[in-house]
Amino acid sequence: MIEPLRTSFEVDRPAEHVFRVWTANFSQWWPKSHTVTGDRDVEVVLEPRLGGRIYEQTPTGTTHEWGEITLWEPPHRLGYRWHLRRDRADATDVEITFHDHDGRTRVDIEHRGWERLGAAGPDWRDANKAGWSGLLPHVIQAVRQSTT
The backbone torsions φ and ψ at residue 108, rounded to the nearest 5 degrees and listed phi first, read -110, 130
Secondary-structure percent of the chain, ordered helix, strand, coil, rounded to 5: 35, 35, 30
What is the maximal distance between C-alpha atoms in the chain?
A: 45
Distance CA 99, CA 88 (A): 30
Q: What confidence score (pLDDT) does residue 51 get?
A: 98
Element (H, E) at 28: helix 26-29
pLDDT for the residue 147:
82
pLDDT of the residue at 86:
81
| Whether 77 contacts 87, CB under 8 Å | no
pLDDT at res. 1: 87
Other C-beta atoms closer than 10 Å to the C-beta of 83 total 18
Q: How far apart are CA 83 and CA 101, in angstroms?
A: 32
Identify the pLDDT of residue 88.
Answer: 87
4-33 pLDDT tens trace: 999 999 999 999 999 999 999 999 999 998
pLDDT tens, residue by residue, 57-96: 999 999 999 999 999 999 999 999 999 888 888 999 999 9
pLDDT for residue 148 is more than 70 = no
Could you read off the pLDDT of 93-146 as tens digits, one per residue? Answer: 999 999 999 989 999 999 999 999 999 999 999 999 999 999 999 999 999 998
Task: Give the global pTM.
Answer: 0.93
Q: How many CB atoms lie within 10 A of CB 109?
A: 18
